[in-house]
């Protein structure tokens, strides 16, 4: 077995589905809660509780789809077939959730929110496992992750541009979220077909199949994975808190709801520029150290936002640009490290369980976002914050908004840095691991 780097064209075709998949994820947690609260009279506490309940469902669906992704085989292989058959459900659920009828309520949100969670899990797990196995070299995985996350950020830009361009202040007619619904319904199936057509199925390194008990024991003994997933949970929670509150911070704290879209666009545009920076720094200092440096810089920059108030648009735009660059590191590097820790399990267990590992990864990602919504929105309610954009907020409510948005994320980020700074699976250790797998 030799580790051959994927060609640029192959990386491009593989990255295409990441664009519509990203256009699903971001609005689901940033735009949809505000849209349903403002237009259908659903309380923020109810929406936060629903999102948390959906994430608890993922405790079942994530390992199930991860296991199936590792075990289901067809003429297209394990990854490509399982990914392709998931796209109709994912596209339909996104369409229904983003273009609701005028009488939609909490039940409608729950039905299609659950369906979208199931569909997106089904799509993302074989898709990310496909990439982890497609590139096998330490730096090649950073490059592949950079292509995929670059496409993810382009999809995120569309996800924030279309809703605000079309308007999200009404649920009637062809509003901004409906524009996004149509885009996803078309782009996801088409891009999935192109990727399956042009990108091959990776080599399966499985030598034997583990029982459930054996599999759990090997996962629990994979110390690099346990360290990585702990750091990832902490950092993902830290990122999810300001993401959940961004629209309220700009609209209520800065007093500029008209700039919500442009500032989000600035953030994700700078994140695209951050991806090649992450690839370059990882080449110089290693993936885990580059990620730690980026998290530390984010703590320093984000702390400034808590001191901003009404009218402080320019300082906040600078914060958005700087933290956007660092988001490119958060998206690119942890997933590339995850592929390395799976190699560690494959070498010791004899089964290549990339799907199951990315299921655990996916669940942690969703759990962090749900914990954010389930914790932050009720705290805002307790502080007296009112979700109506025309409401006059009390000083206490605005102070709580600032503290939750800017300072709450710092502590979990610092804890993640402490976990990852001396991470054991560096480039030299991974090279030895790949030699062992080749033998």
Beta strands in 193-312, from DSSP E residues, in sequence order: none
Residue 397's alpha-carbon distances to 2, 37, 250, 278, 373, in angstroms, are 59, 18, 14, 37, 17
What is the token pair recorded at 188? 């996801």
Q: What is the pLDDT of residues 159-193, one digit of tens each?
A: 878 887 777 776 677 787 888 999 999 999 999 99
Distance between start and end Cα atoms, the chain: 8
Distance between CA atoms of residues 132 and 297, nearest Å: 28
What is the token pair recorded at 288? 């885990």
| Whole-number pLDDT of residue 234 | 94
Task: State the Cα angle at 383 between 381 and 384, rounded to 5°.
Answer: 65
Report whether 65 contacts 91 (CB < 8 A): no
| Whole-number pLDDT of residue 1 | 45
Q: Tokens 């590191």 identify what position?
A: 329
| Whole-number pLDDT of residue 3 | 56
DSSP state of 5: P
Distance between CA atoms of residues 282 and 330, nearest Å: 12
- Which residue numbers in the chain have pLDDT < 70? 1-4, 170-171, 212, 388-389
Please state, rounded to an integer, the average pLDDT across all residues of the chain: 87
Within a 10 A sphere around the Cβ of 133, how many other Cβ atoms?
23
Measured in residues, the chain has a length of: 439
What's the fold here for domain 8-438?
Growth Hormone; Chain: A; (1.20.1250)
Q: What is the pLDDT of residues 26-73, one digit of tens each?
A: 788 778 888 888 888 888 788 878 877 887 787 788 888 888 888 887
Report whether 189 contacts 87 (CB < 8 A): yes
Give the closest residue to 195 by CA, choosing from 126, 142, 279: 126
Residue 188's alpha-carbon distances to 34, 155, 399, in angstroms, are 25, 11, 41
| Secondary element (H or E) of residue 79 | helix 79-84
Report whether 361 contacts 222 (CB < 8 A): no
Integer-rounded Cα Rg, in Å, for the chain is 21
**What is the residue extent of each domain of the chain?**
8-438
| Whole-number pLDDT of residue 399 | 87
């Amino acid at each position: 077995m030799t580790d051959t780097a994927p060609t640029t064209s192959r990386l491009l075709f593989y990255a295409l589905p990441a664009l519509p998949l990203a256009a699903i994820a971001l609005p689901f947690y940033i735009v949809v809660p505000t849209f349903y609260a403002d237009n259908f009279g659903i309380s923020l506490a109810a929406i936060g509780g629903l999102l948390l309940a959906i994430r608890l469902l993922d405790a079942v669906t994530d390992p199930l789809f991860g296991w199936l992704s590792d075990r289901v085989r067809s003429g297209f292989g394990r990854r490509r077939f399982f990914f392709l058959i998931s796209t109709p459900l994912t596209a339909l659920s996104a369409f229904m959730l983003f273009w609701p009828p005028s009488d939609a309520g909490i039940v409608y949100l729950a039905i299609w929110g659950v369906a979208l969670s199931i569909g997106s899990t089904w799509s993302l797990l074989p898709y990310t496992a496909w990439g982890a196995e497609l590139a096998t070299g330490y730096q090649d995985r950073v490059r592949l992750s950079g292509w995929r996350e670059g496409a993810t950020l382009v999809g995120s830009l569309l996800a924030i541009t279309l809703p605000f361009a079309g308007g999200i202040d009404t649920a009637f007619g062809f509003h901004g979220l409906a524009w996004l619904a149509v885009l996803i319904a078309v782009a996801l199936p088409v891009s999935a077909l192109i990727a399956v057509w042009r990108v091959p199925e990776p080599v399966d390194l499985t030598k034997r199949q583990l029982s459930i008990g054996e599999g759990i024991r090997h996962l629990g003994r994979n110390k690099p994975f346990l360290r990585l997933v702990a750091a990832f949970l902490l950092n993902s929670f830290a990122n999810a808190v300001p993401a959940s509150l961004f629209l309220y911070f700009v609209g209520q704290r800065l007093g500029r709801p008209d700039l919500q879209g442009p500032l989000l666009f600035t953030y994700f545009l700078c994140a695209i520029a951050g991806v090649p920076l992450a690839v370059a720094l990882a080449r110089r200092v290693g993936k885990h150290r580059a990620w730690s440096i980026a998290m530390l810089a984010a703590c320093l920059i984000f702390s400034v936002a808590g001191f901003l108030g009404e009218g402080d648009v320019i300082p906040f735009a600078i914060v958005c640009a700087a933290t956007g660059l660092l988001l490119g590191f958060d998206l690119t590097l942890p997933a590339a490290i995850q592929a390395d820790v799976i190699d560690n399990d494959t070498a010791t267990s004899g089964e290549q369980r990339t799907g199951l590992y990315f299921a655990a990864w996916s669940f942690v990602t969703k759990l962090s976002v749900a914990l954010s919504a389930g914790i932050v929105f009720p705290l805002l309610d307790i502080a007296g914050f009112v979700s109506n954009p025309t409401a006059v907020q009390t000083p206490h409510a605005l102070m709580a908004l600032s503290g939750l948005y800017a300072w709450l994320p710092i502590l979990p980020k610092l804890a993640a840095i402490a976990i990852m700074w001396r991470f054991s699976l560096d480039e030299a250790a991974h090279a030895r691991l790949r030699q062992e797998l080749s033998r």
